[in-house]
């Protein structure tokens, strides 16, 4: 008996999904079938929790990431639900199995010198003046790029050096605005009226007088990263990460950084403590006489 026929019928029932999604399901289940064939299993009735667990463990040893293994399990769960409905199986062995977690990647940040280099641009035309205001505000207030694009004039309170931000889950927070960002914003607002059309309330506008898009912000930041000769490709979140890292490095107050970033869970913010320790470890390696490598 072959394991393939149920898969072929299962794939036909995914016609409502995109071609890429169907291909992902097919690859995931075919990988499982290849594994089962190697272990001489020819019937889905014989596939239980132990077999699925061994499959995931084998993939993990092969270096497959935790995120990919989670997707594998998601595909397998949906496939076994189909097998149950069609009478090929009586339970879903993948329901009780969790994928190993991948090590969390540390966010890329700019150091203080790199940040200063980026923000020392020659802003002598409306577009560069706007871009400087966006970068200064993002670094000053730790905004997400979606929050930056979504800012309206009504939330600006430059007299009190703060803005009201609408974050994830429609949660509002007050964010401080530094003097450099206030100065850059005032410079942009003098030019903004030349762009605005249809009484657009957005703080940052494109050349057509419409609210600037997230994609456009990403492109403009990448442009300035290249122009200012930064080593890393600049993306908006890098300034948010840099904001958090620099505040934590100076204050050591994780709760305050959590509030400033608008994180619902402090565990999300804790990644910056790892980043701060990484920096301290580098300083230690360079400075401690017993840590420095001997020169050849």
- Alpha-carbon distance values, 22 to 17, 31, 88 (Å): 6, 14, 21
Give the per-residue pLDDT at 223.
95
Q: What is the pLDDT of residues 191-242, one digit of tens each?
A: 998 877 666 799 999 988 899 999 999 999 999 999 999 877 898 988 988 8
CA distance 75 to 287: 50
- Alpha-carbon distance values, 77 to 82, 88, 133 (Å): 9, 14, 48
Total-model pTM: 0.61
Give the per-residue pLDDT at 285.
59
CA distance 281 to 52: 40
Quick one: 228 and 171 in the same domain?
yes
CA distance 91 to 100: 23
Quick one: 184 and 139 in the same domain?
yes
Instruction: Specify the 3-state DSSP secondary structure of 152.
Output: strand
Quick one: 146 and 267 in the same domain?
yes
Quick one: 119 and 201 in the same domain?
yes
92 falls within a domain: no
Q: Looking at per-residue confidence, does 103 or 230 come out higher? A: 230
Tokens read off for 281: 């470890």
Total domains in the chain come to 2
CATH of residue 77's domain is 1.10.150.130
Give the per-residue pLDDT at 292.
56
Neighbours of 156 (CB within 10 A): 17
Sheet holding 156-157, edge to edge: 156-157, 162-166, 172-176
97 falls within a domain: no
> How far does Cα 105 stand from its chain's mean position?
10
CATH of residue 234's domain is 1.10.443.10
Place of tokens 């966006």: 134
Please write down the HEC assignment for all residues of 186-239. HHHHHHHHHHCCCCCCECCECCCCCECCHHHHHHHHHHHHHHCCCCCCCCHHHH
Q: What is the pLDDT of residues 36-64, one digit of tens each?
A: 999 988 888 889 999 999 999 999 889 88
Q: What is the pLDDT of residues 117-142, one digit of tens each?
A: 999 998 999 999 999 999 999 999 98
Confidence of residue 293 (pLDDT cuts 50, 70, 90): low
Give the per-residue pLDDT at 288.
47
Annotated active-site positions, please?
144, 168, 237, 240, 263, 272
93 falls within a domain: no
Please say if the pLDDT value at position 287 is more than 90: no
Please say if the pLDDT value at position 2 is more than 80: no
- Alpha-carbon distance values, 256 to 136, 162, 198, 266 (Å): 20, 16, 39, 10
- By CB neighbour count within 10 A (0-12 exposed, 13-18 middle, 19+ buried), where does 154 fall? exposed
Instruction: Specify the 3-state DSSP secondary structure of 26.
Output: helix
What domain range is 20 assigned to?
Answer: 4-85
96 falls within a domain: no
Give the per-residue pLDDT at 180.
94
212 falls within a domain: yes
């Amino acid at each position: 008996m072959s394991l393939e026929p149920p898969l072929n019928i299962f794939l036909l029932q995914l016609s409502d999904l995109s071609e890429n999604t169907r291909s992902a399901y097919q690859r995931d289940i075919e990988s499982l079938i290849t594994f089962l064939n190697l272990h001489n299993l020819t019937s889905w009735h014989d596939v239980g929790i132990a077999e699925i667990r061994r499959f995931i463990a084998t993939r993990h040893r092969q270096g497959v990431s935790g995120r990919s293994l989670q997707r594998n399990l998601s595909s397998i769960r949906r496939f076994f639900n189909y097998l149950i409905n069609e009478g090929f199986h009586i339970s879903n062995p993948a329901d009780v199995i969790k994928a190993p977690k991948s090590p969390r990647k540390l966010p890329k940040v700019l150091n203080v010198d790199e940040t200063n280099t980026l923000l020392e641009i020659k802003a002598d035309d409306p577009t560069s003046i706007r871009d400087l205001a966006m970068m200064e505000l993002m670094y000053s207030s730790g905004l997400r790029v979606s929050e930056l694009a979504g800012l309206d004039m009504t939330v600006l309170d430059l007299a009190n050096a703060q803005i009201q931000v609408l974050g994830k889950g429609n949660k509002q927070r007050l964010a401080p605005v530094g003097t450099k960002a206030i100065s850059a914003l005032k410079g942009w607002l003098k030019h903004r009226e030349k762009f605005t059309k249809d009484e657009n309330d957005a703080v940052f506008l494109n050349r057509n007088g419409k609210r600037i898009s997230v994609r456009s912000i990403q492109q403009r930041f990448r442009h300035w990263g290249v122009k200012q000769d930064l080593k890393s490709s600049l993306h908006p979140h890098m300034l948010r990460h840099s904001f958090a890292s620099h505040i934590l490095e100076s204050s050591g107050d994780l709760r305050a950084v959590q509030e400033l970033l608008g994180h619902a869970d402090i565990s999300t913010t804790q990644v910056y403590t790892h980043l701060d320790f990484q920096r301290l470890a580098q300083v230690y390696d360079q400075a401690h006489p017993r840590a420095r490598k001997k020169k050849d």
